[in-house]
């Protein structure tokens, strides 16, 4: 039985390496965070000090790394894998990276008389734990077949797709569908929730009808329970959709649905949910509809009353001049969405809204994500522009706070009171 080296012990890598140990393989691990490597050591793994050291001591090297930059460092760094290779070794990369980088790794492996397989996986953390991942493999078909049993020790199937880079292309195409499905699921659940529908009952309809999907199966109950513990992070989904966008630009394929999904995850990332599960995108929709998707009451928890501009201006406001940063999202052309960060000021506060001021011209009904100074300890807040006024070279925007949760509204008021008292 061949000795295995495993580099990258994150959400997916750690349970994959653990399954190899359970199947009787000799496994040496490396991870930048030594604590994770020590956890595998308790299961019987040897621990290497560098990827180079690991590559010297094993027959097959498996990598599961987060992005192109990290993969480049692990393979090409001074203490990287390529500097520890001897002829006839095999590298299997299970990461989701650009096809161009996969092809480059394959070419550089051949120059060292070694083999490289790009074999990313489908399935998130639960599948990695259960050993039910599906591997999509690109490279030499004979080499893939020779290592099928090794991959099946961590998964349920291995699908050969063609030459180097084919696995990476398949993974990006697959995750394009995943991202679009996830946004569609959350958007549909938001429509039902806004109308007062019981979320659990509606999820049964989804799973029993034409809208059924793996995303509904994996994420539907998490959204209802507000369980955003990571199976697959929002940040990683955004990274994959970015890679897919770059690939489709190379191929010359119009992708309006990919663009829309990617930009929704950009909003989620800008709002501070990158480290949470991708289902945390529900937070954005909940701020827009004014209630939690899993609420059972028909009335929104914090209703957004429709009022005229004159009625809204009658509300008591506090004079402010607090610096902020805003992430602005607007349509540039049909099918594309672009974000831009601009500086501004929080000028006024009322019961249901705020007034912002900036030199940036914006449009009514646009959404902005407001970032406060670090001293405030406030999370980013989403607001919708409902009124626009021009004053010399500045623009003032009346904004609805998109049903800000009560505790955050109190935090905002406390921060404003602190700033006002100091001034």
Kindly state the tokens that stand for 192: 């039902």
Does residue 356 contact residue 396 with C-beta atoms inside 8 Å?
Answer: yes
Smallest CA-to-CA distance from 367 within 349, 383, 353 is with 383
H or E element: which one contains 190?
helix 166-194
CB atoms within 10 A of CB 4: 23
Candidate list 171, 219, 239, 262, residue with the active-site label:
171
User: In angstroms, rounded to a whole number, what is the distance separating the alpha carbons of residues 119 and 387?
Assistant: 51
User: In angstroms, rounded to a whole number, what is the distance separating the alpha carbons of residues 299 and 301?
Assistant: 6
Q: What residues have CB less than 8 Å from 154, skipping those under 6 apart? A: 16, 19, 20, 128, 131, 133, 135
User: In angstroms, rounded to a whole number, what is the distance separating the alpha carbons of residues 230 and 251?
Assistant: 32
Does residue 402 contact residue 383 with C-beta atoms inside 8 Å?
Answer: yes
User: In angstroms, rounded to a whole number, what is the distance separating the alpha carbons of residues 66 and 94?
Assistant: 10
Count of CA atoms in the C-beta half-sphere (13 A) of 88 = 4
Smallest CA-to-CA distance from 412 within 366, 380, 387 is with 380
H or E element: which one contains 381?
strand 381-391
User: In angstroms, rounded to a whole number, what is the distance separating the alpha carbons of residues 419 and 401?
Assistant: 20
Is residue 390 among the annotated active site residues? no
**Catalytic annotation, residues:** 171
């Amino acid at each position: 039985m061949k000795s295995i080296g495993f580099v990258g012990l994150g959400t997916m890598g750690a349970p994959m390496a653990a399954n190899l140990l359970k199947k009787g393989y000799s496994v040496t691990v490396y991870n930048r965070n030594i604590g994770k490597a020590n956890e595998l050591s308790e299961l019987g793994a040897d621990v290497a000090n560098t990827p180079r050291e690991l590559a010297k001591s094993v027959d097959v090297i498996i990598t599961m790394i987060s992005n192109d930059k990290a993969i480049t460092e692990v393979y090409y760094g001074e203490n990287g894998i390529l500097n520890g290779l001897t002829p006839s070794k095999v590298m299997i990369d299970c990461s989701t990276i650009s096809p161009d980088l996969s092809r480059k790794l394959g070419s550089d492996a051949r120059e060292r008389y070694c083999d490289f397989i790009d074999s990313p996986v489908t399935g998130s953390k639960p599948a990695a734990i259960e050993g039910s991942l599906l591997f999509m493999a690109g490279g030499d078909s004979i080499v893939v077949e020779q290592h099928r049993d090794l991959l099946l020790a961590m998964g349920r199937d291995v699908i050969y797709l063609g030459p180097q880079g084919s696995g990476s292309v398949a993974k990006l195409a697959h995750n394009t569908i995943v991202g679009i499905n996830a946004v569609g699921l959350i958007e549909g659940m938001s429509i039902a929730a806004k109308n007062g529908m019981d979320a659990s009952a509606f999820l049964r309809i989804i799973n029993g009808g034409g809208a059924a999907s793996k995303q509904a199966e994996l994420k539907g109950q998490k959204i209802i329970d507000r369980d955003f513990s990571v199976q697959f992070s929002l940040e990683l989904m955004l990274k994959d959709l970015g890679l897919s966008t770059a690939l489709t630009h190379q191929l010359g394929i119009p992708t309006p649905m990919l663009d829309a999904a990617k930009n929704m995850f950009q909003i989620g990332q800008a709002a501070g949910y990158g480290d949470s599960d991708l289902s945390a995108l529900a937070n954005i929709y909940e701020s827009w509809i004014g209630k939690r998707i899993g609420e059972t009451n028909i009335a929104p928890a914090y209703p957004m009353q429709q009022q005229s501009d004159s009625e809204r201006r009658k509300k008591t406001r506090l004079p402010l001049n607090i610096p902020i940063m805003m992430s602005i999202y607007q349509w540039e052309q049909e099918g594309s969405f672009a974000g831009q960060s601009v500086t501004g000021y929080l000028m006024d506060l009322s019961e249901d809204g705020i007034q912002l001021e900036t030199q940036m011209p914006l449009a009514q009904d646009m959404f902005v994500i407001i970032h406060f100074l670090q001293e405030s300890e406030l999370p980013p807040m989403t607001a919708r522009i409902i009124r626009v006024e021009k004053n010399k070279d500045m623009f003032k925007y009346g904004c609805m706070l998109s049903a800000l949760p009560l505790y955050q509204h109190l935090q905002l008021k406390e921060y404003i009171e602190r700033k006002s008292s100091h001034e």
